[in-house]
Structure 1
Amino acid sequence: MKRRRYRRTGLINNEDEQNPLTGVANLFDIAMVFSVALLVALVMSYQMPELLSPTEDITLVKNPGQKDMQIIIKEQGQPIEVLNMTDQIGGGTGEALGTAYKLADGRVVYVPEEEDGGNTTSS
């Protein structure tokens, strides 16, 4: 029976360990996991997990009443739309649809106008 001699080979002789780019692939994987975790943490810190959900429609108003106000609209199946505040005033022709009244408790009641000119008592 033949005896085989096994030589001890160090890590230096292993071809995989001599390639300096082996560690770069692992660093790229770690960087991708870190960036996704950072993105999720950022969305959660703004308390807007709805932005990650493809099924929810949301409308977001940034800086309401300011000169740099923005309205961000996300609808299902549509690209995200950003509307910026401008100095232009909307105008055109149209017809009055009714009257809105603000009650003493802060509620707003809309009373539509009827076509025949009669008074409406619904609220």
Structure 2
Amino acid sequence: MRRRLRFARPRPEVSRHDDPLAGVANLFDASLAFIVAMALALFSVLGSTDMLSADADWTLARTTPEGELEVVSKHQQEIKVERVSDRKLSGQGQRLGTAYRLPDGQVVYVPEEEGRKP
């Protein structure tokens, strides 16, 4: 003879493990951790950690989405952004050297020696 428990409640047939969206709740946390890991990996691969240090000096040339060339340079705590344009300028100046474009597209700058002109 079986005894029935006095306070036992009938359990529903459907369990909580049958919910197909139960695992979706953790996807946001997992994607956030993945994004942080990718950002750290990108910084370490590109050597960009030097950009974050206070005593590092660096210069970066990049192309803006509009197609202009920008030169970003950092010296101690000062950051300068200069835009390179194709406007013709005139004035007085000193010739510093010559730039050559190689067949593979690379540009080489050759400074002039003192007292010698091309």
Answer whether TM exceeds 0.5 for this pair.
no
Higher strand proportion = 2
What's the TM-score, normalizing by structure 2?
0.43
